[in-house]
């Protein structure tokens, strides 16, 4: 998969889906030649043209003016020595200077993927890793570039290690996990910005001249900007066109830079955000960056998404649950908020059992003395008397009734009104002498400190061991301000945000290893930390606190650009919606939630028998089609970001089953009839709809399509159409 042409200094990583080419050029600079569809062999045709460019400096001692770092497409560009574009790395040397020039030194190819200590990372035996060592001879900094390629995936996983080989301290001010320069090409930028309750709202725009930065400096990957972007050729659709996807396997501050230079070349970088990042590296010390994935598709966005799904599923998510059908759950949050007792919970539980729910999740308010969101975070022991008979007894009852039991925790946080705060007021992240900004009346524990991690580990271990528990919802409900750790020196305060994430990962590693039978679901005020880093520890995520199905169609569609259906928690909630006050039919709420990991989040005791019957039917249908939905091929058919309606489908790997969901936001008066063209079917198979009203070949369903709005259905309408293969036409006849 990896070869090195010693004579011409060319590295070539390739498999049956991609090729990635680099070359050692003048001054031992590592240039980027190509990333894209596979090239069986490389002749040298992409060698970068030489030309004297005004205002672009040359290498020291150069004989001519034809070569400049300012224009050369590079692999890991530096600052201050001739390239004026965005550097991949910035180092403050002991003398205060920040010029660097990284030259190729040597390389290694290893079969076993190097471990990126303390970080979530890709794994898998079917991989090879190229390690290229670059060095700055003056500052004696060595940069190790890691490139992993898998035998069958259109992806390169990249990370970087910095070694200080000098006898003086240096400071890292920016470390990109990956940087790549594209020769002149027109690109559109796709990314997933948003906010609380409106996560991952897909945006698309042409890449303008200049620099775009997509960042989160909130101490979390955030609702506001997912650590992902894609560059796609203009007019790329779901099925056509070339696209590159960039994803950081990280849950903290991040930054992506997309720069179009004066020659229309595009530099794309992704890594930890440099804002307030400053890592001191003493002599002999090393720094490991998070890993980044760069996927490639020459068949549109559907293939790009499929590549991410595959890599996340095969090479990042570790939980034993990843291959298992996920249970239909009920969560009491939007049903009761903090206002519950055992009687109220039992009523919901009993109804849930009747309609086929499999897991009961007790959300916020069961611990310390918490009756609202102002107290008790940090005190992970039972609120005495809140649940008559106690939590352990309730978890037993849930099991006796044939359901699994799960619980909500928010371990990274602390309320001022808590026993933990009374004992350890210095454990919060804040700047001594400066009043810290509360968020939701809570503060963040300094997880960079080992004793804080240990305390949480002990408390949670005790809790998880004292009740019959199958599931944990791990929440995080504010972003980081007043960033400072009392345990670090003044010159290390720029390390706090990253050390916090390392501390979190270490705690998660311990707990998920200790309790492998617990299904962990990550949450951060909904989808405020929906990232590949968290997925390494927890196989699913609460997608958004917004349970309005009309909003959810966009949220789930945006999320699906990168993250597979088997990671997306989706619940049926009450009307009017708590987030929008919108009233939508129970069928629509059910169909949208059934397009993810189905759950319920409403007071079943208040529902009438009609609604309960619909729910029972929808849950049965979901269970019958769960493997198809959770693990089939997911295909976006109509984008909710471009239309007043949306559609998607799930197709079994053998193409014998297909489930289509169609959603209409607002009814138009006298609408145009619209054929919805399916994709991904076997053209020669004959499919029949569940209701028996449509029988057609895959070719017909894909080329002619099905009518979806031939009646006036009204606002907020949804329909589910299930097709099963009932035969096939003779392939030879079809060709006659
Ligand atoms: C966050 C979560 C919700 C719920 C509340 C409880 O907002 O996203 O689902 O658990 O916290 O306080």
Q: Encoding tokens for residue 581?
A: 């006050």
Q: Catalytic: 371?
A: no
Q: Is 77 touching ligand 1 by the criterion CB < 6 Å?
A: no
Cα 143–Cα 149–Cα 153 angle in degrees, nearest 5: 145
Handedness of CA 321, 325, 331, 334 (dihedral sign): positive
* Closest-CA residue to 634 (of 600, 680, 593): 680
What is the mean predicted confidence (pLDDT) over 478-507?
97
Ligand 1 pocket member 367 (CB < 6 A):
no
3 state SS of 603: coil
The preferred substitution site among 475, 544, 570, 601 for testing ligand 1, maximizing ligand atoms within 8 Å of CB, is 475
> Average per-residue pLDDT in the chain?
97
The answer, yes or no, to whether any atom of ligand 1 lies below 6 A from the CB of 546, is no
pLDDT, residue 736, reads 47
d(CA 336, CA 345): 9
Q: From the CA of 373, give the closest atom in ligand 1.
A: 12
| 547 alpha carbon – ligand 1 mean position (Å) | 12
The ligand 1 atom at the shortest distance from the C-alpha of residue 524 is 8
DSSP one-letter code for 282: -
**How many A from CA of 131 to the centre of ligand 1?**
43
Q: What is the pLDDT at residue 459? A: 98
Ligand 1 atom 12: residue of nearest CA: 364
pLDDT, tens digit, 9 for 90 and up, residues 346-374? 999 999 999 999 999 999 999 999 999 99
Q: What is the pLDDT of residue 109?
A: 98
CB of 527 closer than 6 A to ligand 1?
A: no
Q: How far apart are CA 331 and CA 194, in angstroms?
A: 25
Residue nearest to atom 1 of ligand 1 (CA): 525
What is the whole-number distance in angstroms between the Cα of residue 412 and the centre of ligand 1?
14
Q: Is 227 in the pocket of ligand 1 (CB under 6 A)?
A: no
Decide if 328-631 and 637-735 have a common fold: no
CA of 557 relative to ligand 1 center, distance in Å: 22
pLDDT at residue 185 is higher than 90: no
CATH code at 2-315: 2.70.98.60
The Å distance, Cα 66 to ligand 1 centre, comes to 59
What is the atom index within ligand 1 of the atom nearest the CA of 601?
A: 9
Give the pLDDT of residue 710. Answer: 85
pLDDT digits (tens, 9 = 90+) for 510-554: 999 999 999 999 999 999 999 999 999 999 999 999 999 999 999
At 678, phi and psi to the nearest 5? -80, 170
What distance in Å separates the CA atoms of residue 521 and residue 713, rounded to the nearest whole number?
36
What is the 3-state secondary structure of 2-42? EEEECCCCEEEEECCCCEEEEEEEHHHEEEEEEEECCCCCC
> DSSP 3-state assignment of 532?
helix
H or E stretch covering 463: helix 450-466
pLDDT of 119 above 80 = yes
Look at ligand 1, atom 7, and give the residue with the nearest C-alpha: 525
Q: Which is the closest atom of ligand 1 to the Cα of 363? A: 10
Quick one: residue 694, left, alpha or beta (phi over 0 = left, psi -120 to 50 = alpha)?
A: beta
Catalytic residue (one of 70, 379, 475, 682): 475
C-beta 525 within 6 A of ligand 1: yes
CATH superfamily of 637-735: Golgi alpha-mannosidase II (2.60.40.1180)
pLDDT one-digit tens code per residue, 25-40: 999 999 999 999 999 9
Probe target for ligand 1 pocket from 196, 339, 545, 568, with the most ligand atoms within 8 Å of CB: 545
pLDDT of residue 450: 98
More confident of the two residues 710 and 127? 127
What value does the mean pLDDT take over residues 253-259?
98
Q: How far is CA 347 from CA 360, 407, 601, in A?
A: 12, 18, 14
Residues in the chain: 736
545, 574, 611, 645: the catalytic one is 545
Say if ligand 1 is within 6 A of residue 542 CB: yes
Starting at the edge strand found earlier in the chain, the sheet holding 19-25 runs 2-5, 10-14, 19-25, 29-36
For ligand 1, is residue 408 a contact (CB within 6 Å)?
yes
Instruction: Please tell me the predicted confidence (pLDDT) of residue 550.
Output: 98
The pTM for the full model equals 0.97
Q: Which residues contact 112 (CB under 8 A, 6 or more apart)?
A: 129
CA 605 to each of CA 517, 570, 601, 612, 721: distance values in angstroms, whole numbers, following the listed order: 31, 21, 12, 10, 30
Ligand 1 in reach of 364 Cβ (< 6 A): yes
Domain limits, the chain:
2-315, 328-631, 637-735
**Which run of H or E residues covers position 507?**
helix 496-514
Q: How far apart are CA 461 and CA 471, in angstroms?
A: 14
- The C-alpha atoms of residue 317 and residue 563 are separated, in whole angstroms, by 11
What is the Å distance from ligand 1's center to 525 Cα?
A: 5
Confidence of residue 703 (pLDDT cuts 50, 70, 90): very high
- Test site for ligand 1: of 364, 375, 552, most ligand atoms within 8 A of the Cβ: 364
Q: Whole-angstrom Cα distance, residue 556 to residue 389?
A: 39
466-479 average pLDDT score? 98
Check if the beta carbon of residue 67 is closer than 8 Å to that of residue 49: no
Fold adopted by 328-631: TIM Barrel (3.20.20)
Read off the pLDDT of residues 617-634 as tens digits, 9 standing for 90 and up.
999 999 999 999 999 999
Going from the Cα of 378 to the center of ligand 1, the distance in angstroms, rounded, reads: 16
Task: Tell me the CA–centroid distance for residue 338 and ligand 1, in Å.
Answer: 11
- The DSSP code sequence of 327-345 is PPEEESHHHHTT---HHHH
Q: Give the pLDDT confidence score for residue 111 in this predicted structure.
A: 95
Tokens of 318: 């570790």
248 lines ligand 1 (CB under 6 A): no
Instruction: Round to whole Å and give the CA distance between 441 and 418.
Output: 12
- Beta pairing, strands 203-206 & 127-136: unpaired
pLDDT at 341: 97
Dmax over CA atoms of the chain, in Å, equals: 86
Reported as a pLDDT band with limits 50, 70 and 90, residue 733 is low
95 flagged as catalytic:
no
CA–centroid distance for 142 within its chain: 31
Q: Ligand 1 pocket: which of 195, 413, 525 to mutate (most atoms <8 Å of CB)?
A: 525
DSSP 47: P
Q: Is 475 in the pocket of ligand 1 (CB under 6 A)?
A: yes
Which of 69, 269, 285 shows the shortest CA–CA distance to 174? 269
Identify the residue whose C-alpha is closest to ligand 1 atom 6. Answer: 364
- For residues 447 and 485, is the Cβ–Cβ distance under 8 A? no
Query: How sure is the predictor about 414, in pLDDT bands with cuts at 50, 70 and 90?
Result: very high
Q: Determine if ligand 1 sits within 6 Å of the CB of residue 526.
A: yes
**pLDDT band at residue 734 under the 50/70/90 scheme:** low
In the chain, the percentage of residues whose pLDDT exceeds 90 is 97
């Amino acid at each position: 998969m990896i070869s090195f042409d010693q004579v011409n200094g060319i590295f070539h990583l390739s498999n049956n889906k991609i090729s990635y080419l680099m070359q050692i050029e003048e001054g031992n600079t590592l240039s980027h030649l190509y990333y894209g569809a596979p090239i069986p062999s490389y002749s040298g045709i992409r060698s970068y043209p030489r030309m004297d460019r005004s205002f672009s400096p040359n290498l020291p001692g150069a004989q001519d003016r034809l070569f400049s770092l300012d224009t050369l497409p590079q692999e890991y560009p530096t600052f201050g020595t001739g390239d004026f574009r965005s550097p991949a790395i910035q180092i403050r040397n002991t003398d205060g200077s920040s010029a660097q020039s990284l030259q190729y030194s040597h390389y290694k190819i290893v079969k076993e993927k190097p471990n990126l200590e303390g970080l979530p990372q890709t794994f898998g035996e079917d991989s090879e890793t190229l390690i290229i060592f670059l060095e700055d001879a003056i500052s004696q900094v060595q940069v190790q570039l890691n490139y992993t390629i898998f035998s069958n995936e259109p992806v390169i996983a990249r990370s970087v290690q910095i070694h200080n080989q000098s006898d003086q301290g240096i400071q890292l001010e920016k470390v990109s996990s990956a940087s790549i320069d594209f020769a002149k090409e027109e690109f559109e930028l796709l990314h997933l910005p948003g906010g609380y309750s409106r996560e991952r709202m897909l945006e698309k725009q042409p890449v303008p001249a200049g620099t775009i930065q997509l960042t989160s400096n909130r101490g979390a990957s955030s609702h506001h900007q997912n650590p992902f972007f894609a560059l796609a050729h203009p007019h790329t659709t779901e099925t056509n066109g070339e696209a590159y996807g960039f994803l950081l396997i990280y849950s903290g501050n991040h930054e992506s830079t997309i720069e179009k230079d004066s020659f229309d070349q595009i530099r794309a970088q992704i890594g930890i955000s440099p804002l307030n990042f400053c890592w001191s590296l003493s002599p002999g010390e090393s720094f490991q960056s998070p890993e980044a994935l760069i996927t490639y598709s020459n068949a549109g966005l559907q293939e790009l998404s499929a590549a991410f799904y595959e890599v996340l599923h095969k090479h990042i998510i570790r939980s034993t649950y990843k291959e298992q059908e996920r249970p239909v759950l009920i969560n009491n949050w939007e049903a009761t908020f903090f206002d519950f007792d055992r009687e109220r919970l039992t009523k919901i539980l009993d109804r849930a059992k009747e309609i086929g729910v499999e897991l009961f999740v007790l959300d916020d308010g069961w611990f310390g003395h918490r009756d609202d969101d102002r107290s008790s975070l940090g005190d992970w022991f039972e609120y005495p008397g809140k649940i008559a008979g106690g939590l352990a007894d309730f978890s037993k009852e849930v099991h006796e009734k044939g359901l699994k039991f799960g619980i909500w925790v928010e371990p990274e946080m602390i309320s001022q009104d808590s026993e933990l705060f009374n004992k350890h007021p210095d454990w919060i992240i804040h700047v001594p002498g400066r009043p810290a900004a509360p968020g939701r009346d809570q503060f963040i524990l300094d997880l960079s400190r080992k004793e804080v991690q240990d305390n949480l580990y002990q408390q949670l271990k005790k809790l998880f061991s004292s009740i019959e528990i199958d599931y944990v919802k791990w929440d995080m409900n504010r972003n980081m301000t007043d960033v400072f750790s009392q345990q670090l020196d003044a010159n290390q305060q720029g390390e706090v945000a990253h050390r916090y994430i390392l501390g979190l990962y270490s705690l998660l590693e311990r707990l998920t290893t200790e309790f492998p039978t617990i299904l962990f679901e990550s949450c951060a005020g909904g989808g405020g930390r929906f990232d590949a880093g968290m997925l390494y520890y927890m196989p699913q995520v609460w997608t958004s606190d917004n349970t309005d199905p009309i909003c959810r169609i966009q949220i789930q569609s945006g999320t699906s650009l990168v993250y597979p259906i088997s990671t997306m928690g989706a619940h049926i909630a009450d009307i009017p919606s708590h987030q929008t006050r919108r009233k939508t039919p129970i069928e629509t709420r059910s169909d949208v939630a059934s397009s993810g990991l189905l759950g319920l989040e409403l007071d079943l005791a208040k529902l009438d028998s009609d609604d309960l019957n619909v729910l029972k039917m929808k849950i049965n249908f979901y269970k019958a089609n769960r493997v198809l939905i959770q693990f089939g091929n997911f295909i976006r058919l109509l984008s909710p970001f471009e239309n007043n309606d949306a559609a998607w489908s799930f197709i079994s790997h053998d193409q014998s089953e297909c489930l289509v969901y169609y959603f209409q936001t607002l009814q138009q008066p006298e609408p145009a009839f619209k054929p919805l063209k399916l994709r991904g079917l076997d053209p020669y198979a004959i499919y029949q709809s569940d209701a028996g009203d449509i029988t057609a070949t895959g070719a017909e369903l894909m080329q002619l399509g099905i009518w979806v709005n031939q009646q006036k259905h009204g606002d907020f309408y949804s329909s589910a159409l299930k097709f099963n293969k009932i035969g096939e036409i003779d392939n030879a006849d079809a060709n006659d």
